[in-house]
Amino acid sequence: MHDDTSLTIGRVKRVLDERIRPAIYSESIPLQVSWHELPGEPVTPAEGLALEYTPASVGTPWGAAWGTTWFHLQGQVPASWAGRRVEAVIDLGFDINMTGFQCEGLIYRPDGITIKALNPRNQWVPVAAAAEGGEVVDLYMEAASNPVLLDYHPFLPTEQGDILTSSSRRLYTLRRLDLAVFEPVVHDLALDLEVLFDLQEQLPDGPRRFQILQAMDNALDVLDLQRIPQTAQDARDQLAAVLAAPAEHSAHRISAIGHSHIDSAWLWPLRETIRKVSRTCSSMVELLETEEEFLYGMSSAQQYKWLKTHRPEVWDRVKRQVAEGRFLPLGGMWVESDTVMPSGESLVRQFLYGQNFFREEFGITSKGVWLPDSFGYSPALPQLMRRAGFEWFFTQKISWNQQNKFPHHTFDWEGIDGSRMFSHFPSMDTYNSQLSGEEVAKAARQFREARVTNNSIAPVGWGDGGGGTTREMTGKAKRLANLEGSATVAWEHPNDFFDRAKAELPNPPVWVGELYLELHRATLTSQHQTKQGNRRTEQLLVEAELWAATAAVYTGEPYPYEQLDELWETVLLHQFHDILPGTSIAWVHREVVARYAEAITQARALIARAQQVLAGSGGLQLEFNAAAYTRHGVPFGAAREPEPATGQPVRAEALDGGYVLGNELVRVVINSEGLITSAVDLATGRETIAEGKEANLLQLHQDFPNMWDAWDVDKYYRNQVTDLRAADSLQLSETGGTATVTVTRSFSNSTVVQELSLAPGERTVQISQSTDWHEAEKFLKVAFPLDIRAEQTIAEMQFGYHQRPTHVNTSWEAAKFETSMHRFVLAQEPGFGAALVNDSIYGFDVTRDAEDARVTTTVRLSLLRAPRFPDPQTDQGLQTHRYGLVIGADIASATEAGALLNSAQTVRSGAREVEPLVALSGDGLVVSSVKLAADRSGDLVVRVYESLGRRAAGALSLNRPVASAATASLLEDPLEPVEVNKNSVQLKLGAFEVRTLRFTLA
């Protein structure tokens, strides 16, 4: 036979696109339309239904950016349509390639109950499954005119990302508003052909492919293109045999779960996400009611709470489906958060608040962490997930790596303490699957554990901006359930998938350490004020809990549960993986910074209230210490009159236009340009700064990545650098024994003022920096070339630290040219080290440098960026940083210095000193939090961890009688009783182990 493959392929494509799909609706009549454009923010459904409406028609432009327009749609089903399925077909001016990123609608009945949503890939509304004829159609539609920001030419700067600067021009035009007859057989024929067409594209030449091609030709031979509804079944009959051929015994098995990855904010503000959630959930509930095998999963307790609070009519429908086991709460977190930058306590609260919501509202405790789209994953996570009671972990983003392909799809992930978590990446490399032939074939082709197991997950549905699964996708799933040449597809709860995968893979491969994403590295720096707000609020809330718990136990002062819960939920929401990383539109970050300011004020008020209750009114000047280390003679959790500073006042001498600062521990030389040319540890005589180099050197790079401006920094940025050496002025001041050199320097359109301070008895040169930043597409770093041959950097992370090689021997190490830290990064060689501590910085880079066979280590902190998409004003204006160089540091001193820098000193007048409620002994053991239990039982919860990376022993004592004690999960569930001796418990912790203890007081 001659090869007619290309002829058949061209024929099927054209007939499917130009004849069959348009014939899915055979007859239609226009609906009567009226509308009401709102001038400002959205209104409630009740208010929307009560608006006054004026006539509109197809062809009417509507919808300024971020506007809301209500439409009233009315009509009557013709008597001639009796017995047929009738739907409303509505095209608001959609671009089908922009699902989730443009205008959307939600349809209501006149009583305010939602029916389903409208988006570019879901333009229909059910009217009658079998019309009687004459039915009156009365629908209302709330339409959101969200602008398309990630357009066909993506990453262009735009002012449309904030309602304060967006255009008032109407963005969309009504294209279709009809009642129409839906032809189910034609719809089925379209799906038959689409599935077979996609399948043959993935098959090699051979009998199966050729039989499919012939069957499609046969189907089109009997299809009358002028009478498609009347002949569609004949065409389907020609396809029945190839669709009925069963899959091979060894076929890859895909566990599908309906999904819509709804970013809690990104290219839309939080208020729009609330509506996206209600729109998507309405459509998914409607689909669950009509598709018996379909299952839908949604993560993020915050999104469920939004439904409950703002859209109770949708919440009720969702809750019924949850009870039936069809709508699946996944993940057990408050939001799908970033996991690199939040503190350890913040990640604990993501689990605590998320799981508590699911327990209280649904009686469900999630078994796994569902986190498909975060930008890298901290190696602290395996331990935290296990200690929160989770059994599995799901993600996908590492498939985006630029350079190295991750070697596993199903594996054990080992964290810094040795904990392992059973994990899975979907082998089709997407969390927005459409069940296309290409995706299904890719899942089977790429799956890396196929020698011993053959299962993967497919999250199925339109995501990012919402939309979810469509009836076309469920139709494909039916056809792919058992189809020769294809992987099999079945709707399945992820719990069942993971149970089966564990059984089939009892000895999974192991990945040790961080899951570093070789992309989106600049998210550690973009939108500095957002990151600064996160660091300050999460620290203040832990301090507020400490003082509130101490006041409750000592004085009976009511513990502010509601206020703390509200503030924690705010912080957790803003740790979402497109907010904290700085990748959302201007509107989002404008609101976030304002909300952080409110939260800081509220947290400080809670702290002040508790401290005043504890100290009373009087004339004593008391320093309250919430840092986990003694400061000025005041232990953790205590308030006392501070001891005088140890050591002599800092000596300051002029030298060649600069200054020499010294105390009994260190000697620091600052040259005439405000750069540190020497930093000597006097006890050892060791010089910290590399010979001939200068530290505290600000460096400015061109920063224009290939894609994803706010997300990415590409390696070539290092090729172009300007050293900002010139200083406008230097000025010395001395206060309370502390010497400070103030350096002012200007460059381009910006100005930096730095205060370099050395205090008595301190080995840290602290730098307070204010930057009036007015750059575009620039990256600001500060360099510290250290006379240290460090084989690794040691960077703090949640409840410990992470070591990374300083060499680039392999492509894996070379890809980590920008990495993360929390409060410190340490470079050390045997016998000596130096650390950089900070109060709001997360990104740094390190290079090994060599001159005359002498290897040194340069560490640079990442301070500010200026990307122009999606927020063209990113970081513009006044920005502040505090960081410091710790001379002669090790892990213990770096941990302490970082903790002290991040916990502000508080001095308050009072009548009495306050003794610590808890005291911890043991080298390397650190108190992470002290609080009252979330269940409001009055129990005291204390969390400690081992910070040095080695086994440790110690004791935790309470300053109140203890009735009983137990270890607890991170959800504060008691686990095992602990022996109490004189209100003290003995502790033995492994390296980096996190231990939560729960005390019932006598």
Active site residues: 373
Phi, psi dihedrals of residue 479, rounded to the nearest 5°: -75, -25
Are 280 and 274 in contact by the 8 Å Cβ rule? The answer is: no
Compute the distance between CA of residue 372 and CA of residue 437 in angstroms, rounded to an integer. 22
Cα atoms found within 13 Å of the Cα of residue 247, Cβ hemisphere only: 18
Compute the distance between CA of residue 882 and CA of residue 901 in angstroms, rounded to an integer. 8
Which token pair is 210? 């050729």
Q: Which amino acid is at 25?
A: Y
Compute the distance between CA of residue 295 and CA of residue 284 in angstroms, rounded to an integer. 9
Q: Where are the beta strands (DSSP E) in 326-452?
A: 327-329, 368-370, 392-394, 410-414, 420-424
Provide the residue count of the chain: 1002
Compute the distance between CA of residue 634 and CA of residue 637 in angstroms, rounded to an integer. 8
Cα–Cα–Cα angle for 32, 38, 40, rounded to 5 degrees: 165
Q: Which amino acid is at 109?
A: R
Cα–Cα–Cα angle for 686, 688, 693, rounded to 5 degrees: 130
**Sign of CA pseudo-dihedral 154, 155, 157, 158:** positive
Of 821, 873, 825, the residue nearest 527 (C-alpha): 873
Q: Which residue has the tokens 């939260």?
A: 599
Of 641, 640, 672, the residue nearest 657 (C-alpha): 672
Question: Cα separations (Å) of 487 from 143, 207, 433, 553?
Answer: 39, 18, 14, 60
β 32-37/25-30 pair status: unpaired
Displacement of CA 864 from its chain's centroid (Å): 21
Q: Which residue has the tokens 């959930």?
A: 281
SS3 for 457-508 is: EEEECECECCCECCHHHHHHHHHCCCCCCCCEEEECCHHHHHHHHHHHCCCC
Are 133 and 78 in contact by the 8 Å Cβ rule? The answer is: yes
Are 745 and 671 in contact by the 8 Å Cβ rule? The answer is: no
Cα–Cα–Cα angle for 647, 653, 655, rounded to 5 degrees: 145
The DSSP result for 788-846, as a single string, is: ---SEEEEEETTEEEEEESS--SHHHHT-SSEE-SSEEEEEETTEEEEEEESS--EEEE
Contacts of 752 (CB under 8 A, 6+ apart): 698, 724, 743, 744, 745, 746, 769, 770, 771, 772
Cis peptide before 870 (omega within 30 of 0): yes
Buried b (16+ CB within 10 A) or exposed e, 530-566: bbbbbbbbbbbbbbbbbbbbbbbbbeebebbeebbee
Compute the distance between CA of residue 637 and CA of residue 628 in angstroms, rounded to an integer. 8
Alpha-carbon Rg of the chain, whole angstroms?
31
Q: Which residue has the tokens 């009998």?
A: 207
Are 373 and 336 in contact by the 8 Å Cβ rule? The answer is: yes
Which token pair is 434? 């459409």
Of 846, 909, 384, the residue nearest 612 (C-alpha): 909
